[in-house]
A and B are shown apart, each in its own frame.
Chain A
Amino acid sequence: MASIDTPSPSARSGSGERNILARLWYEKETRGVILQILTVVLLFAFIAYITLNAIANLALLGKTFSFDFLSEPSHYDINQTLIEYTSKSTHFRAGLVGILNTLLVAICGIILATILGFILGVLRLSPNWLVSKMVYCFVEFTRNVPVLLHILLIHGFVVHMLPKPRAAQEWANLADLVFFTNRGVFAPMPLLGDRFSWVATAFLVAVVGSFIFARWAKKHQAATGQHLPVVLINLGAIAALPALAYLLAGSPVGWDIPALKGFNFRGGFVIRPEFLALWLALSLYTSAFIAEIVRAGIEAVSKGQWEASSALGVSRGRTLSLIIIPQAMRVIVPPLTSQYLNLTKNSSLAIAIGYMDIVATVGGITLMQTGKEMETMIIVILFYLGVSLFISAIMNWYNNRIKLVER
């Protein structure tokens, strides 16, 4: 950039030779190289310095740097486990349970937040003044309050406002199957029989068939102009085929219905209050941001698209789904990715209400028990970096797919 610093050779010869170092410094390319070498050397010196400090400190405290503790028994219980785990399992397994819990709440949260966010974003643009203003109030209130406060508020609500199991038996239930209590939501758990594989196969067949049918219908429409009710047919097939298989197999699913035993419900499927609070809070908080992103995306599609579509006689719903949303998606996807990342990172706040995610297991109890600050924090940080890179990669791939193809 600084081309003026480099006088031409002829000008230089008149003013006398500068020494070789100065000449190198005033040459743009060599200066770039020198600067980079300096930067890298400084960086490595810094890393070496803190590493030496760390080694000295660890030696002073009589600690070693190793990941051996991962294979030792953990000696602590985790209240929600997706895989088999007892207090005799290893720290590694505890970490795995934590990772699965993080992923569970992140994936559930992303799904719910996306659905809520899209609904809210579309309602925000509704011609209905009342609904639009209500959504506006909700969005502004939700996103201007710290997410930690949301989590604590909803957790407080679940724990203090929902009835105790005994009272829930009386009034907080759906058809005596689902019970809302302050110890969690209890729902019937399906017990899969031997022939359940029939239903699963039928479902898979229906889904694959739907994809093939949708592609064929698209080609058919391109060739003949005939439009088939693809969505209706596919939904019908996906519902009907498994149902048929279910009947043919002779109802292979039993239900384990929760029942009140003593002070709590036993059996069935339980959503713990910590998970419920974290899930709802993260979803609500993120949905407010997604709603704004969706609104901005839809508004970014020019009004002429709406008008052209309505001039062609396309209905409002189909305009939205076939013309506006596909174009809006190009604007929506990049910021949506960062919201997904934020949700995943915010799930680390689980520790505030005792949901056992990776930060609470490895970064919390394991750290306290083994005193391996360095190793545990490295595991946690690497996990989050991995998840971040993975989500960015997927969304980049998707973004490339829907990108405007220019000639």
Chain B
Amino acid sequence: MSDATISQSYEPGTHPDLPPPLLERGLIFWVRKNLLSSWYNVTLTILGVWFLWTIVPPLYDWMFADAVVNAEDRTECQSLGDGACWAFIHERFKIFIYGFYPEPERWRAILAFGLMFVALGPLLFDNFPYRGKAMLFSLAYPFIAAWLLLGGLGLTPVGTDQFGGMLLNVIVGVTGIAFSLPIGIVLALGRASELPAVRIICVTFIEFIRGVPLITLLFVASTMLSYFLPPGTSFDLLMRVLIMVTLFASGYMAEVVRGGLQAIPRGQFEAADSMGLKYWQSMRRIVLPQALKISIPGIVNTFIGLFKDTTLVIVIGLLDMLGMGRASLADAKWAGLSSEVYISIAVFFFICCFSMSRYSLYLESKLETEHKS
């Protein structure tokens, strides 16, 4: 600023609008406010920059700059660069996705996966075209998907022991959530019931499920469940796992739905009663539509948790994505690449779960505004 502008005088009300001083705007202001506002802030910034400086460049070199994407085996990888050996993942990619699902039938898995989103559409969006009819498809979807994946009725049958990789994670996760929702709703209603015997049974079941790790339930599925069936009957391991995972998820689902039920004002129940609606009528037409709508973010979060937990099936010998990864580590040609395998699977799960959690946050904010208006 020159002296001229300082000494200049103005008539009241004629002073020209000036931009804020340089220190109060733009990048400098932002840096001063957010990074250097006090001495401990400066310390934190320095520590942060130092931390990033030590972590990021070597990680970048390892993951991208020195990484090898195309190679025949580990030794070739090492000769081409000293970073990560993505060639291994590249070669095994399809195994990680489909497991041992037979190659010519893989279109069925893709179709079933694609149809899942068609089936989800009418459930998630109110303005879905022809929602009523599309809902019927959503209801039929589990059977269509089972037919596509398992075969029979004109399609080549595929045994469940050939399921694996990401396919298995998705099957276990989606089945668990889809079937646990109705069970969870019934349990939540039972927990809120006025009948003490029903309430006690539901509370006991929910607390039992939530108090026990999924791993023990999976062990029960693999070792003990067949004892409780009539002698001579036995069924598929995957089926047993799906039953246990569904029961497990329904305990958590019941708590999510209970949260939704508790958020419904008392007046809604009373209004339904005074209209002369029976219990199931008032639940189906008045209470549950509102309660479930509030619970959607919670349901998505439960799904995220369950989807991560589907990796636990490896402890009873099913080969999901992580199981395929671990099994492929035994290949002598590619020995010692555990970091590459685990990191790529971690990135896969991160992308899936992070995007779902963003979606659930978006839903939450959307529902919130709807309540305020």
B229 pairs with A359, CB closer than 8 A: no
Instruction: For B350, give its contact among A145, A346, A348, A384 (CB under 8 Å).
Output: A145
Q: Which of A140, A144, A149, A377 contacts B342 (CB 8 A)?
A: A149
A156 contacts B338, C-beta separation under 8 Å: yes
CB-based contact A385/B211 at 8 Å: yes
Most chain B C-beta atoms within 10 Å of own C-beta, residue among A36, A131, A140, A146: A146
Contact present for A359 and B35 (CB under 8 Å): no
Contact: B228 with A351, CB < 8 Å? no
With a cutoff of 8 Å between Cβ atoms, the chain B residues found around residue A128 in the complex are 34-35, 41, 44-45, 48
Chain A CB within 10 A, most for which of B51, B215, B282, B326: B215
Q: Is the CB of B212 within 8 A of A146?
A: no
Question: Is A369 in contact with chain B by the CB < 8 A criterion?
Answer: no
- Decide if the interface of chain B is mainly helix, strand, loop or mixed: helix
Judge if A83 is at the interface, Cβ distance under 8 Å: no
Q: Does residue A70 face the partner (Cβ distance < 8 Å to B)?
A: no
Q: B219 touching A359 by the CB < 8 A rule?
A: yes
Residue among B49, B52, B322 having the largest count of chain A Cβ atoms under 10 Å = B322
Expressed in whole angstroms, the Cα–Cα distance for A136 and B107 within the complex equals: 39
Asked whether A148 and B34 contact (CB < 8 A) given A32-B194, A57-B231, A388-B211, the answer is no
Which B residues between 170 and 212 are near A, CB-CB below 8 angstroms? 194-198, 201, 207-208, 210-212
- A192 part of interface (Cβ distance < 8 Å): no
Minimum CB distance partner of B308 in chain A:
A146
Q: Please, which residues of chain B bring their CB within 8 A of the CB of A146?
A: 308-309, 311, 322, 349
CB-CB under 8 A for A39 and B201, given A148-B322, A149-B349 = yes
With contact pairs A128-B45, A359-B216 given, residues A384 and B211 touching in the complex (Cβ less than 8 Å): yes
| Minimum distance in angstroms from A131 CB to a CB of chain B | 5
The reply to whether B354 and A140 contact each other, CB–CB distance below 8 Å, is yes
Do B45 and A144 touch (CB < 8 A)? no
Residue of A nearest to B326 (CB): A152
Whether the Cβ atoms of B195 and A32 lie closer than 8 Å is yes
Choice from B44, B276, B338, B354 contacting A126 with Cβ under 8 Å? B44
Give A1-22 interface residues, CB cut-off 8 Å to B.
Answer: 1-5
Q: CB of A56 within 8 A of chain B?
A: yes
B208 touches A53 (CB 8 A): no
Contacts of A191 in B (CB 8 A): none
Confirm or deny: B366 has a beta carbon within 8 angstroms of a beta carbon on chain A.
no
Q: Nearest chain A CB to B265's CB is how many angstroms away?
A: 16
A129 to chain B, nearest CB (A): 4
Interface of chain B residues 261 through 275 with chain A (CB within 8 A)? 273
A5-B278, A352-B314, A380-B216 given as contacts; is B226 within 8 A of A57 (CB)? yes
Residue from the list B304, B315, B346 in contact with A351, Cβ < 8 A: B315
B227 at the interface (CB under 8 A from A): yes
Complex contact B227–A39 (CB within 8 A): no
**Is the CB–CB distance between A377 and B216 below 8 Å?**
yes
A37: which B residues are within 8 A, CB to CB? 197
Query: Once bound together, how far apart are the Cα atoms of A374 and B304, in whole Å?
Result: 31
Flag if A1 contacts B273 (CB, 8 Å): yes
Complex contact A349–B215 (CB within 8 A): yes
- Tell me if B48 and A385 are in contact (CB < 8 A): no
- The residues of B that contact A349 with a CB separation of less than 8 Å are 215, 312, 315
Contact A53 B228 (CB under 8 A): yes
A27 at interface by CB-CB < 8 Å: no
Choice from A53, A131, A149, A385 contacting B345 with Cβ under 8 Å: A149
Category for how many chain B residues contact A: 35 or more
Does residue A160 face the partner (Cβ distance < 8 Å to B)? yes
Contact A149 B311 (CB under 8 A): yes
**A381, B273: Cα distance in complex, Å:** 42
A130 contacts the other chain (Cβ, under 8 Å)?
yes
Chain B residue nearest to A159 (CB atoms) is B338
Bound complex: CA of A243 vs CA of B49, how far in Å?
39
> Does B20 belong to the interface (CB within 8 Å)?
no
Whether B322 and A149, one on each chain, are in contact in the complex, defined by CB atoms closer than 8 angstroms, is: yes
| Complex-state Cα separation, A349 to B45, whole angstroms | 37
Q: Mark B309-326, 1 if CB is under 8 A from A, else 0.
A: 101101100000010001
- Which residues of A lie under 8 Å from residue B231 when comparing CB positions? 53, 56-57, 60
**In the complex the two chains form, is A388's CB within 8 Å of B278's CB?**
no
A130, B228: Cβ atoms closer than 8 Å: no
The CA-CA distance from A99 to B48 in the complex, in Å, is 40
- What CA separation (Å) do A368 and B312 show in the bound complex? 20
Residues of chain B contacted by A126 (CB below 8 angstroms): 41, 44
State whether the Cβ of A153 lies closer than 8 Å to any Cβ in chain B: yes
The interface centre, meaning the residue of A1, A40, A127 with most chain B CB atoms within 10 A of its CB, is A1
User: Which of B35, B223, B357 interacts with A129 by CB under 8 Å?
Assistant: B35
A385-B208 in contact (CB<8A) = yes
Chain B minimum-CB-distance residue to A42: B201
Interface centre among B213, B278, B311, B350 (most CB of A within 10 A): B213
Please give, as numbers and ranges, the residues of chain B lying within 8 Å of A145 by CB-CB distance: 308, 346, 349-350, 353
B224 on the A face (CB < 8 A): yes
In the complex, the answer to whether B353 meets A148 with C-beta atoms within 8 Å is no
Encode contact with A along B213-237: 1 for CB under 8 Å, 0 otherwise: 1111001100110111111000000
Contact indicator A144/B223 (Cβ below 8 Å) = no
| A167 interface hit (Cβ, 8 Å) | no
Closest chain A residue to B42, Cβ basis: A128
Contact across chains for B220 and A345 when beta carbons are under 8 A apart:
no
Q: List, in ascending order, chain A residues with CB within 8 A of B152's CB.
A: none
The answer, yes or no, to whether B37 is at the interface (CB within 8 Å) is: yes
Tell me if B59 counts as interface (CB < 8 A to partner A). Answer: no
| Min CB–CB distance A127 → chain B (angstroms) | 6
Additional 14 contacts, C-beta under 8 A, given A39-B201, A53-B231, A58-B227: A39-B197, A53-B228, A53-B229, A60-B231, A126-B41, A144-B349, A147-B308, A148-B311, A149-B349, A153-B343, A156-B342, A374-B227, A381-B220, A388-B211
* 22 A–B contacts, CB within 8 A, in A order: A1-B273, A3-B273, A32-B194, A54-B227, A56-B231, A57-B231, A126-B44, A128-B41, A128-B48, A131-B45, A131-B47, A134-B52, A140-B350, A144-B308, A145-B346, A152-B338, A153-B346, A345-B212, A351-B315, A374-B227, A381-B212, A385-B211
Q: Which residues of B contact A (CB under 8 A)?
A: 33-35, 37, 41, 44-45, 47-49, 51-52, 194-198, 201, 207-208, 210-216, 219-220, 223-224, 226-231, 273, 276-279, 282, 304, 308-309, 311-312, 314-315, 322, 326, 336, 338-339, 342-343, 345-346, 349-350, 353-354, 357
* A positions within 8 Å CB-CB of B: 1-5, 32, 35-37, 39-40, 43, 50, 53-54, 56-58, 60, 123, 126-131, 134, 140-141, 144-149, 152-153, 156-157, 160, 341, 345-346, 348-349, 351-352, 359, 363, 367, 373-374, 377, 380-381, 384-385, 388-389
Q: Give the top 4 A-B pairs by smallest Cβ distance, nearest first.
A: A388-B211, A129-B34, A36-B197, A345-B213
